[in-house]
Amino acid sequence: MSRTIDEVLAEARSRLHRVTPEEADQARHRGAVVVDIRPEAQRRANGELPFAVVIERNVLEWRLDPSSEAALPIASHDLEVVVLCQEGYTSSLAAASLQDLGIHRATDVIGGYAAWRDWLAGRPADATPPA
């Protein structure tokens, strides 16, 4: 049985409690880890969030699966992870993949980095700016 990418994306998102940039910012202030999965060229071209942990998409599962030999010290099945891509598509697939590994608090940002950057642009000067 074949499926389209739109069907795969819809299924992934049906399992997530996706968050707005504001909700993601609140989550990071309570200890969630924001993970930027964008490739380096995209981060360089569009900017970065200075508090995000960069784990490019091709190694994400290995770095956050606590049973992996390549796991980061923060890896835990109970880790609250907010995945961020450029516009919020790849991050949905990535967050669902993390949930498949048992990282049940994984989610992503609606609209991705672009939405977070736009949200920050409307914040007071003391809000966390994009790099």
**Structural domain total, the chain:** 1
Long-range contacts of 51-54 (CB under 8 A, 24+ apart): 51/128, 52/84
Name the residue with higher pLDDT: 131 or 74. 74
In a domain, 128, yes or no: no
pLDDT of residue 129: 47
Q: How many degrees, rounded to 5, is the angle at CA 108 between CA 17 and CA 8?
A: 80
Domain that holds residue 58: 5-120
Specify the higher pLDDT residue, 104 or 126. Answer: 104
For 62-120, the pLDDT digits (tens) are 999 999 999 999 999 999 999 999 999 999 999 999 999 999 999 999 999 999 999 99
Which CATH number fits the domain that encloses residue 45? 3.40.250.10
Does residue 54 sit in helix, strand or coil? strand
Tokens of residue 40, six digits: 């380096």
